[in-house]
Chain A
Amino acid sequence: MIEGIFVEGLLYSLMALGVFITFRILDFPDLTVDGSFPLGAAIAATLISHGTSPWISLIAAFAGGVAAGCVTATIHNKLKVPNLLAGILTMTMLWSINIRVLGNRANLPLIRKTTALTQVKDLFGETFPNAWAYLIFFLIAALLVKFLLDLFFRTDLGLTLGAMGNNSQMVITQGVNIEYMKLIGVGLSNGLVGLAGAFAAQYQGFADVSLGQGIIIAGLASVMIGEFVLRSNRISVLTLRVILGSILFRGLMYLGRYYGYYINLTPNDLKLITGLLIILSLIVTQVRKKKKWTALAAGEKSEDNA
């Protein structure tokens, strides 16, 4: 049970890291995620059911996500469409594409197919219980992605991406084409989301076209919850807290699912709870800001008196 929370938390943290890149680093609220997550799942499931190696399917899902992100960035760059609308456009188009990828159906089960997870099970299943084998596997996967991202955001390119989200004029003044930067950033973000989708399909044993519905909100909630846990300006801490936030979010959802009936909650209410969670995070951030302001003002006054 508790392992389940961690497995899901780590799995979805890959998606949350993607959301973190667009919303927090690039300041490009990207809604493509709702389409690129099931796209990753659909690509992986289709390839696996055709007998492709599950590991190759993961790479293909990542590439599919990158392509989806690049479509959004290109619509935004070339047609000067606001980023939110560009994301919604791609997301809507992806719905049809995902059904095509799944072979003109909405759902593709992966029963008795060799997935990455069945291979993990075969490898460790005898030494550990299944859930623990999955946990270790996803822990390694999430940390690997985290370390690669940390490294990426320390490169010159990564630093420039960070600056663009904060001050795009500064990046233009540096002689950098911000259209390319957006393409790279949004592409990378959706690549991670597609990868998470591919893992999710293999973990759940099926790919479904509605797998991504509202997933952006789950990702955003994870990012925001993480921000309460740790405060820092170091990229390694920022990515770590996204992973922690994702696990905490899954924990809260688990509580809602299993103990919610005491207060008459049904699984259908979870989306409402997720939304309320985000609103709560926003309120707490506002209150904190206000407190900081009043503290600052008080500090200035006392300095004046002295």
Chain B
Amino acid sequence: MIRLEHLSKVFQTGTVNENAAIRDVNLTVKEGDFITIIGSNGSGKTTLFNLITGTYPPTEGNIYIRGKDVSREPEFKRARYIGRIFQDPLLGTASNMSLEDNMMITYRKGFKGLKVSLNGKMRDFFREKLVPLQMGLEDRMKDNVGLLSGGQRQALTLLMMVLSQPALILLDEHTAALDPKNAQIVLDLTTRFVEEYKLTTMMITHNMSQAIRYGTRLLMMDLGEIILDVEGKEKQNLTVEKLVDKFHEIREKTFVSDEALLSQG
């Protein structure tokens, strides 16, 4: 469904600060995959997302979504089939507009016309969708979103994104800015929505046990490369210790081979 071919991104090319954030990444995401991505700071997780959504173009390589090469498409065009949630709960909603207005704006992707779509029927539909969040938001549809808590806003953003029916959803540590209780609520909602709507999902997380517990496939990134890609049985049997060991094992190997390379030269 999504195919990344020899994707790389170099920032500040030709300067002393030249920084290869993504190095020759190849990845195929299948329909229905729920991928968790872990990696330390600066390993290129968010850059990978930014390349997929088109926040900036890749230095090299191509991105295919449903067979179509979108590598040079502007962000707003790709956004029609990608739903993205950021770490900052403020980025997903317009705080000085009401809940129902926010939901109306995100309900359909693409250019909006001169039609008044927000009518009684639409309101009933939104209310019905808000009830399962169990946050009492269905009674606050005329309130400004700015009055909600971070957890409520993130849950709302999640719901709004799901209702717009994207082909792929990208979650960029979307629970990291929330307190543990709200983070758990939003995470539970995420898994429920992913199952209910059969969403193809990529989720960045800092938490290894989370990465193991959730999803069907796990990627580990380091220095701009995907160094580990496990799914199915292998993933189910993972533990945090095994993951750490694997990381050292892989990195040790490349280190050794680097040394070998240097000594040869």
Q: Does B8 contact A (CB under 8 A)?
A: no
Say whether, besides A167-B94, A170-B94, A156 and B105 are in contact (CB < 8 Å). yes
| A136-144, A176-184, A240-248, A254-262 - interface stretch | A176-184
Give the nearest-CB partner of B90 in chain A.
A167
Within the assembled complex, what's the spacing in Å between the Cα atoms of A174 and B83?
8
Q: Does B71 contact A (CB under 8 A)?
A: no
Interface size on B, residues (CB 8 A): 36
**Using Cβ atoms and an 8 Å threshold, which residues of chain A touch B116?**
151, 154-156
**Using Cβ atoms and an 8 Å threshold, which residues of chain A touch B91?**
167, 169-170
Within the assembled complex, what's the spacing in Å between the Cα atoms of A175 and B91?
15
Q: Is the CB of B93 within 8 A of A175?
A: no
Q: Is the CB of B117 within 8 A of A175?
A: no
Q: Is the CB of A233 within 8 A of B97?
A: yes
How many residue-residue contacts, CB under 8 A, span A and B?
A: 89
Say whether, besides A172-B75, A233-B98, A180 and B93 are in contact (CB < 8 Å). no
**Using Cβ atoms and an 8 Å threshold, which residues of chain A touch B118?**
154, 159
Q: Is the CB of B112 within 8 A of A172?
A: no
Q: Is the CB of B83 within 8 A of A173?
A: yes
**Using Cβ atoms and an 8 Å threshold, which residues of chain B touch A162?**
94, 97, 101
Q: Does A115 contact B (CB under 8 A)?
A: no
Give the nearest-CB partner of B77 in chain A.
A175
Q: Does A72 contact B (CB under 8 A)?
A: no
Say whether, besides A159-B101, A162-B94, A163-B102, A152 and B77 are in contact (CB < 8 Å). no
Q: Does A98 contact B (CB under 8 A)?
A: no
**Using Cβ atoms and an 8 Å threshold, which residues of chain A touch B108?**
156
Q: Does A213 contact B (CB under 8 A)?
A: no
**Using Cβ atoms and an 8 Å threshold, which residues of chain A touch B125?**
none
**Using Cβ atoms and an 8 Å threshold, which residues of chain A touch B92?**
170, 173
**Using Cβ atoms and an 8 Å threshold, which residues of chain A touch B96?**
166, 233
Within the assembled complex, what's the spacing in Å between the Cα atoms of A151 and B90?
27
Q: Does A160 contact B (CB under 8 A)?
A: yes
Q: Does A157 contact B (CB under 8 A)?
A: yes
**Using Cβ atoms and an 8 Å threshold, which residues of chain A touch B105?**
156, 159-160, 163, 170-171, 174
Contact flags B97-123 to A (C-beta < 8 A → 1, else 0): 110011011101111111111100000
Q: Is the CB of B104 within 8 A of A159?
A: yes
Q: Is the CB of B94 within 8 A of A173?
A: no
Q: Min CB distance, B150 to chain A, in Å? A: 15
Q: Is the CB of A167 within 8 A of B112?
A: no
Q: Is the CB of A163 within 8 A of B97?
A: yes
Q: Min CB distance, A39 to chain B, in Å? A: 26
Give the nearest-CB partner of B80 in chain A.
A175
**Using Cβ atoms and an 8 Å threshold, which residues of chain A touch B95?**
166-167
Q: Min CB distance, B177 to chain A, in Å? A: 15
Q: Does B144 contact A (CB under 8 A)?
A: yes
Say whether, besides A170-B94, A233-B96, A156 and B110 are in contact (CB < 8 Å). no
Give the nearest-CB partner of A154 in chain B.
B116
Our pick among A152, A166, A167, A176 for the contact of B110 (Cβ within 8 Å) is A176
Best-buried of A155, A171, A173, A180 by chain B (most CB within 10 Å): A173
Our pick among B83, B101, B111 for the contact of A177 (Cβ within 8 Å) is B111
Q: Does B164 contact A (CB under 8 A)?
A: yes
Q: Is the CB of B114 within 8 A of A174?
A: no
Q: Is the CB of A175 within 8 A of B110?
A: yes
Within the assembled complex, what's the spacing in Å between the Cα atoms of A176 and B106?
10
**Using Cβ atoms and an 8 Å threshold, which residues of chain A touch B115?**
155-156
Contact flags B139-181 to A (C-beta < 8 A → 1, else 0): 0000010000000000000000000100000000000000000
10 A-B pairs with the lowest CB-CB distances in the bound complex, closest first: A156-B112, A175-B80, A166-B94, A163-B94, A175-B79, A175-B109, A157-B112, A160-B112, A167-B94, A175-B110
18 contacts between A and B (CB under 8 A): A155-B113, A155-B115, A156-B112, A157-B112, A157-B113, A157-B114, A159-B105, A159-B118, A162-B94, A163-B102, A166-B94, A167-B94, A171-B105, A174-B109, A175-B77, A177-B111, A233-B98, A233-B144
Q: Which residues from chain B sit less than 8 Å from chain A, CB to CB?
A: 74-77, 79-80, 83-84, 86, 90-98, 101-102, 104-106, 108-118, 144, 164
Beyond A154-B116, A174-B105, A176-B112, list 5 extra A-B contacts (CB 8 Å): A154-B118, A162-B101, A163-B105, A170-B106, A176-B111
